[in-house]
Amino acid sequence: MIDPICLWKPRCLDIRGFFSIMLQLQQCCTTNHVIITRNHTMEGYDSLDLRKSVYTLCSEHPELVDTLAELGFTEIVKPVMRTTVGKVMTIPKGAAMRSMDLAAIIEVLESRGYRIENDPREEKK
């Protein structure tokens, strides 16, 4: 059986790494075993600095747009809102404006594989 394949950060792969993964996936699929796991080491996680603007975070992590929209930041899907208001808005500010629980938002982001930096909850302690 083949080792689990880490596709957690595919955008970091060079072309040889990409073809290696594709070959391993093909081998798995021929035996009806497709195993895809996340890299659960801390260096494998994408980090989100909560002091950065929403615009910056979404530029660095485009998949974050959908996650934030699911969490209730529905205006984030509009490119105009991201490039205007998003440049001055942070996730903690947005949560406060919408009376949302920041701890719950951070918990969801961590469950999606993000490592949170500059967590305002830790600064209050």
pLDDT tens per residue across span 13-23:
444 454 455 54
Closest by Cα among 59, 50, 61, 48 to 9:
61
Q: Whole-angstrom Cα distance, residue 102 to residue 75?
A: 18
Helix-then-strand count for the chain, H and E? 7, 4
Q: Which of the residue ranges 41-45, 78-82, 87-91 would you say has the lowest mean pLDDT?
A: 41-45
Helix, strand, or coil (residue 109): helix
| CB-based burial label for 58 (10 Å; 0-12, 13-18, 19+) | buried
Residue 35 identity: I
Whether 6 has a pLDDT exceeding 70, the answer reads no
Tokens coding 52 = 């950065």
* 98-121 pLDDT tens trace: 999 999 999 999 999 999 998 887
Neighbours of 25 (CB within 10 A): 16
